Amino acid sequence: MMRFSLLLISCLLSAYAHAQTVIPLYRGLPPGGIAGANAEQIDEDDNRWLVSEPTLTVFLPPKEKATGTAVVIYPGGAYKTVVYKGEGTNMADFFVKQGIAAFVVKYRLPSDKTMKDKSSGPLQDAQEAFKIVKSRAAEWNIDTNRIGIMGFSAGGHLASTVGTHFDRPVLKENAGINLRPAFMILVYPVISMEKYLTHAGSRKNLLGENPTEETIKYYSNDRQVSLQTPPTIIFHTEDDKVVDVDNAITFYQALRHAHVPAEMHLYPEGDHGFVLKLPRDSWMQIIMKWLGRTGNLNANNPLLQGGTGQLY
């Protein structure tokens, strides 16, 4: 009996370890990186600071439960930190239980000490992470047509940049590679870099003190929406004191005017980071139903049986 128990524990630990494989985004120094830069720091809440070695943490569902859908997750943190657990691994844990492969990106934070162009460094890592997932889709039982992205706060800005700049790869060697996500999930996202609308800290950390008008426009993603922008679902609270809800509204309007399928959920209260306070599964079930309605889950998923039903 004890031998069986030990075997069971061993199998469970093996499965757990496999579900959280961590792989580097690059071999050696990232292109455009500066050697000998800051070492990474991790605080008591598992937030990552001074990231110099970007990685991808892989969460895979059991093969028999896999839907073929995947989500690449970009946590927020004002481009000053990466909220790795609260907006990263906690979300991945939910998705993998639904049969969705999830990948948490620990991207480099913009810094003149770690990269030659700090405004494009996070986007380079975000695109590279998406490319890796797509290139290894067969190995990970993923449908390349159902790989989406998710971002929170400044990570929402990063995700919306990936979704609107997919035809403009940072790295020249990625030219010609399809980096377009199948869908976007944006949660209290920073969208604009315009001074009157943006989150000041995110803009300063990414673009510096005095960005040019051209740079501001390039990274104001409501101004980068096109007919090819992926279908998007947005969550925000009206009382957000950190990132103005008009970021979400402005992006939704841009999507609607470009005839991009979009859905927005505004809550009257909850302030910034509401997902860290609410029961995770309650609001994320809305995402699951949206994925079903948009054709991003397979037909055998139980959430699709019996019609779409009500969101709430």
Domain of residue 89, CATH code: 3.40.50.1820
Residue 2 included in any domain? no
User: Residue 273: which H helix or E strand, with range?
Assistant: none
Whole-number pLDDT of residue 38: 65
Whole-number pLDDT of residue 5: 37
Whole-number pLDDT of residue 2: 38
The residue segments making up the domain with residue 235 are: 48-304
Confidence of residue 113 (pLDDT cuts 50, 70, 90): confident
Greatest extent of the chain over all pairs of C-alpha atoms, in Å: 70
Phi–psi pair at 114, nearest 5 degrees: -115, -10
Burial of residue 109 (CB within 10 Å: 0-12, 13-18, 19+) is buried
Listed residue (131, 147, 137) closest to 95, CA to CA: 147
Residue 41 included in any domain? no
Whole-number pLDDT of residue 274: 86
Q: What is the mean pLDDT of residues 95-122?
A: 95
Residue 38 included in any domain? no
Determine what percent of the chain falls in helix, strand and coil, rounding each to the nearest 5. Answer: 35, 15, 50
pLDDT tens for each residue of 224-260:
999 999 999 999 999 999 999 999 999 999 999 999 9
Q: Which two tokens stand for residue 142?
A: 């993923």
CA-based radius of gyration for the chain: 19
pLDDT tens for each residue of 140-170:
999 999 999 999 999 999 999 999 999 999 9
Residue 40 included in any domain? no
Beta bridge partners of 267: 237
Listed residue (122, 139, 110, 250) closest to 194, CA to CA: 250
**Distance (Å, whole) CA 50 – CA 294:** 38
**Average pLDDT value over all residues in the chain:** 88
Residue 198 included in any domain? yes
Whole-number pLDDT of residue 311: 25
Residue 284 included in any domain? yes
Whether the pLDDT of residue 100 is over 60: the answer is yes
Residue 139 included in any domain? yes
Higher pLDDT, 23 or 4: 23
pLDDT tens for each residue of 7-43:
333 344 334 434 579 999 999 999 999 987 667 888 8
Percent of the chain with pLDDT over 70: 88
The number of folded domains in the chain is 1
Residue 29 included in any domain? no
Task: Please report, as a single letter, which amino acid is at residue 80.
Answer: K
